[in-house]
Copies of this chain bind each other. A is one copy, B any other.
């Protein structure tokens, strides 16, 4: 019952991009080093984020990635769903109702739906912008990063 490493790395990377939002693109390798993420793995994460329309890629020398939207308009849910697919707490959940063998007579289904919804609420109510603010504080003076 846990998210995969992709979400974790994706959120960290998005925070990193948010911190330098407005500047030029940041390379995956740079972020990987700074956040201790396997570089080639992070590359793949970024490809997913690009395909989801969250970041843009600039290829070639001095290229890298940058956020497509204001960090305050990107939620953790955006990142997580881009990397994990739609959130669902149990097999017997999902929009298609009766996925478990209980054929519509499953009294447990509402619990799984509520669980999924609770997760969505948490993730949807936290923006990358907020987290970036916290990150700057944790890292010390933002000037260190400029």
By a beta-carbon cutoff of 8 Å, the part of chain A in contact with chain B is 1-5, 7-8, 11-12, 15, 35-37, 76, 80, 84, 87-93, 100-102, 105-108, 110-112, 114-115, 118-119, 121-123, 126, 131-132, 134-135, 138-139
- Contact status B139-A105, CB under 8 Å: yes
How many identical subunits does the complex contain? Answer: 2
Instruction: State whether A107 and B132 are in contact (beta carbons under 8 Å apart), knowing that A3-B90, A7-B90, A101-B36 are contacts in the complex.
Output: yes
Q: Within 8 Å CB of A118, what residues of B?
A: 118-119, 121-122
Q: Which of B84, B101, B108 contacts A1 (CB 8 A)?
A: B84
Interface of A is mostly: helix
The residue on B at minimum CB distance from A84 is B1
Q: Are B89 and A11 in contact (CB under 8 A)?
A: no
11 contacts between A and B (CB under 8 A): A1-B1, A1-B89, A2-B90, A2-B91, A3-B90, A8-B91, A11-B111, A106-B138, A107-B132, A115-B122, A118-B122
Given A1-B3, A3-B112, A118-B122, 12 extra CB contacts under 8 A: A1-B119, A2-B91, A8-B100, A8-B112, A11-B111, A12-B102, A15-B107, A35-B101, A36-B101, A114-B126, A118-B118, A119-B119
